[in-house]
Amino acid sequence: MLKIFNKLTTDEDKLMPEEELANLKSFVLDEQNNLLYNRLISSLDVLQSRSQMLLSLVTISLTITGFSGPQIARSSGLARDAIIVGLIFVLMSAFILLFGPLRLSWVTRINYEDSDQVLLRLIRARNKRTARFHAAGIVLVIGLISYTTSVIAFLMTGLATK
């Protein structure tokens, strides 16, 4: 875990604020670079908002577990096991989202030799974050299916009416 934290916090290839400003000014003055840069940034914005939506589903699932989870888990072994599996998968989805598409990283702080390196870095970041977004979505769906299974098992026991 310490390796992950160190990787996220190293500043060895980062620019100082003055250098970042000069680098950004020289990059965006080129009209074609600016157009491509803005298009890639826009795609990262879409990815960010969709990731936040998935994180909202995670939050709703965890809230429901907090209120109804103990009663559902007491109803039957199947309900208990399904809600535990659901909780694990929903939390895994949150972890993937937080350390994937929602991880904050300022592209302008990276030192690049030329504009193609900036654009390639953005494309790679977008593709990597998109893959993690899809993985988080799949893991979340598995968790939600498991949650739904636990609720069905709870309702089938008849304890929901007591």
For helices 77-98 and 31-75, the axis angle rounded to 10 degrees is 160
pLDDT of residue 122: 83
Structure tokens at 120: 């390639």
Q: Which pLDDT does position 4 carry in this prediction?
A: 45
- Residue 101 DSSP one-character state: T
User: Model confidence over 61-111: pLDDT tens digits?
Assistant: 999 888 889 999 999 999 999 999 999 999 999 999 999 999 887 767 766
pTM: 0.78
143 contacts 86 by C-beta, under 8 angstroms: yes
The domain spans of the chain are 16-161
Most confident of 71-75, 111-115, 145-149: 145-149
Which pLDDT does position 40 carry in this prediction?
Answer: 83
For residue 136, is pLDDT > 90? yes
Query: Over the stretch 3-47, which tens digit does the pLDDT of each residue have?
Result: 443 444 455 556 777 776 777 676 666 777 778 888 888 888 999
Give the mean pLDDT of the chain: 83
Collect all residues with Cβ–Cβ distance below 8 Å to 94 and sequence separation of at least 6. Answer: 55, 58
Tokens for 28? 């965006």
CA atoms within 13 A on the CB side of 49: 5
Q: What is the pLDDT of residue 33?
A: 75
